Amino acid sequence: MNLEDMNKRIPEASQALPSLDELTGMSTSQAHARLQRLEQHAVVEMDGASLLRCLSLHDELAAEEPDEQLARDLAHAWSALYVGDRVAHDLSLLERRAAQCGSAERVIEAATLRALVASTEGELQRATALARRASRMARVEGLMDSEILANLVLARIRRQAGTPHLAARIASALGRACPPAYRGWIAWELALAGEPERAAPLLSEGDAVVQRAGRALLAMLGAARVGERSAFEASAESLSAQLPHCVFLRDEAEQLRAAIDPQVPLESLVGELQEWCAGRRNDPPVALTGWCVESPSGGAPAYVTNRSAGGPRRILGLGLGLLAATPSAAGKSAGTRRDTALAVLLLAGREGLDDEAFFSATYGFALTSSSHRSALHVLTHRLRAQLPEGVRLVRIDDRNRLETSSGVSVPDPRCGRRTTDRVLRALAGRGASAKEVASSLGIGVRTAQKVLQELVDEGSCLTRKEGRRVTYIVEDTTFEEPTQRGPA
């Protein structure tokens, strides 16, 4: 099916839900086909409520044919995932049943669903393998709509696995080629990959659940950026209200909100998000990976602040605008050891840290020699000479502690990404030259060229030469743009 055929098919599925009387007035095959189209449409638009209503009607009809029973069982599995229930069906068995029915479309759907379920359970390696397999099967079969759905799930898993540049690459390409029904989900993945500017055009129209949620998400991010707390809170509440029947989207939106908002107390958070905000881990939870490259304002990806509710905590750089006053040590971070030491001590609060804990948290390895103690002594000496206004470094009972006369926020370089990650982000759309990469990241052209060549050597990106111009593009070993192939 080519894109023109899909554009004709998708709007047909968006008609109002039929009544049971209307369905019983059709032939059995027509009624099941109608419901299956509506269910597929609800899946794409993350409309768990419509999916539940379709399933209620579907269950009223006696599904006698194996392919009809399979379609209903797959829809039940999607619905369980969306509303946050355990998926009771054995998805590998559903995939085998689809193969027995000779339905390549259902085989790919089952594989795609298996990948998405695995990702929600934190099994990202398995989820990646399943999503890549689904994408490749769809490409071989020439099933464009199946391929788009598989690649959407692949983009989501790439982001969760810590490669948001690949997620942005896939989603950006899909956004240029897909029918309107898919745009809300594509925009969501772009926004969570840290690309709200690319997401916005895809949300300019449409009233699907995921489109409304996407607009609320962008409004929340925009309000945080400019420090409009009332608008931020209103958008966050609207966002949560849009997603009662798509729990995994709602959960990651709430994690993103909590990581941005310094007034969310640590004790209200759980799991990896609490560990990250408390500074006990530096790798971000999957919902934050796209926002731990650099903030939209060009500042550090994360800061530590003592202007938060309930004591010092870490926030995403996007949350700086929500602080009551301008942070006294905020701004672009050079990623220095001084920044790290300040962040470590500020997180420690009034308890402070002994030399061993302070050294280990700052340098990333244990204090075991006299040379290490000398390095720590030099660091603390330099730190005292460069402390922000209103901040003192004191040593009491062999513990190092910061004392502040007012609120302070400092960048935390431990949450930053390598230059290679930032370069990959810059290439995530249509690619760029070394000069364009250097300009967008504020680094030297020679540095950009060196990093780009390393990425080419390791296979993470490719070069495309047009005359004297060399363009670098991100390479994904699975994804292939739909527009690069003719109709199936």
Query: Looking at residue 11, what is its pLDDT?
Result: 39
Q: Is 80 exceeded by the pLDDT of residue 160?
A: yes
Does the pTM surpass 0.85? The reply is no
- HSE-up (13 A, CA, CB side) for residue 456: 15
With a cut of 50, say whether residue 190 has pLDDT above it: yes
Q: Assign 191 a pLDDT band (cuts: 50, 70, 90).
A: very high
In the predicted model, what is the mean pLDDT of the chain?
Answer: 83
Report percent pLDDT > 70 for the chain. Answer: 85
Other beta carbons within 10 Å of 467: 5
pLDDT (average), residues 217-245 = 93
Could you give the CA distance from residue 131 to residue 150 in angstroms, rounded to a whole number?
Answer: 6
Structure tokens at 379: 């660091």
Closest-CA residue to 422 (of 443, 446, 402, 399): 443
The residues of the chain that CATH labels 1.10.10.10 are 296-415, 419-484
Domain 3-171 CATH class label: mainly alpha
CA distances 393 to 109, 310, 359, Å, are 58, 22, 15
Residue 428 pLDDT: 63
Q: Which residue has the higher pLDDT, 6 or 363?
A: 363
Sign, CA torsion 329/335/339/340: positive
Tell me if 378 sits within 8 A of 310, measured CB to CB. no
Q: Where in the chain is the domain with CATH 1.25.40?
A: 3-171
Four-way CATH pick for 419-484: 3.40.190.10, 1.10.10.10, 1.10.510.10, 3.30.70.2190: 1.10.10.10
Confidence check: pLDDT of 229 > 70 = yes
State yes or no: pLDDT of 150 exceeds 90.
Answer: yes
pLDDT at 169: 86
Q: What is the pLDDT of residue 323?
A: 84
- Fold exhibited by the domain 296-415: Arc Repressor Mutant, subunit A (1.10.10)
Lookup: tokens for 313: 């905590």
Of 429 and 471, the one with more pLDDT = 471
More confident residue, 230 or 72: 230
Tell me, rounded to whole angstroms, the distance of Cα 249 from its chain centroid: 10
